[in-house]
Amino acid sequence: MKKIFLIGNSHVSTWAGEKVWRNIYKYIVQNINGFDIYFLCNIPSGAWNVHMDDSKMLKKLIEPVKNLIDEESVVFACWGDHDVRNHLPEKKNAEYNVEKYVAAVMEYFKEYNCKVRFIEPIPVIKDRARWEELDPKSVFNTPFDIEVQKEQYLIFIEALKNNCIKYGLPEPIKIQNNIISEEFLLDEETYDGCHLKIEKSEVLIKYLINKVKSNY
């Protein structure tokens, strides 16, 4: 049976139907449409955490399932939203961050000879008024303006696309159009202004399964 491994932060947890806000490594497995899907997340974490400290966070994340990954497996990595909100607006180094992130993921999974694919990070919320209403300093732990976050998000996803091309990979899975209706999140598509509602998460998982079936 083909296995799918989804690795990332709290978004991956919510895709499995879980609402988790603790700083924790989490491992969930579900059988969906004949696929064993492993949801592995570190909450909170960003693309920056994947490549810093010699990828120790990535190694710890994969430890519970490392013997289950084989040549038939497909690994989907999804980090970046945490960087966009809390790191990149100040550092303005999205291209560098993405380059190191993709390189760390590709290097780690090289020994497994499995397929590695990337998912664009979940975008920030579109509506400034709603963003301010949510009190970003307490909800999102960020002092940065929403417009700066949007700018850094667009730079991040373009850099992610370019790095996938560099490694001969398909373009990253796009959240826009496939899962959400616009370039940035609408409040009604989330349950907290950040994470996808369960029905949107279900659409995403079905979409990923269909991509795997099509030999993406």
What integer pLDDT is reported at residue 21 of this predicted model? Answer: 63
Token pair of 98, please?
């993405």
Identify the domain containing residue 196 by its residue range: 3-213
Instruction: Report which of residues 85 and 99 the model is more confident about.
Output: 99
**Number of structural domains, the chain?**
1
pTM over 0.75: yes
Cis peptide before 172 (omega within 30 of 0): no
Give yes or no for residue 22 having a pLDDT over 90: no
* Residue listed under structure tokens 């709290």: 10
Q: How confident is the model at residue 20 (pLDDT cuts 50, 70, 90)?
A: low
Q: Which residues contact 22 (CB under 8 A, 6 or more apart)?
A: 43
Q: Report the sign of the C-alpha dihedral through residues 103, 42, 122, 177, in that order.
A: positive
Looking at residues 66-76, what average pLDDT do you find? 96
What integer pLDDT is reported at residue 132 of this predicted model? Answer: 80
Beta bridge partners of 39: 6, 28
CATH number at residue 8: 3.40.50.1110
Core vs surface per residue 98-114: b (16+ CB within 10 A) or e: bbbbbbbbbebbeebeb
Mean pLDDT score of the chain:
91
Q: What is the pLDDT of residues 154-212, one digit of tens each?
A: 999 999 999 999 999 999 999 987 899 999 999 999 988 889 999 999 999 999 999 99
Instruction: Report which of residues 44 and 207 the model is more confident about.
Output: 207
Looking at residues 113-119, what average pLDDT do you find? 97
What integer pLDDT is reported at residue 91 of this predicted model? Answer: 85
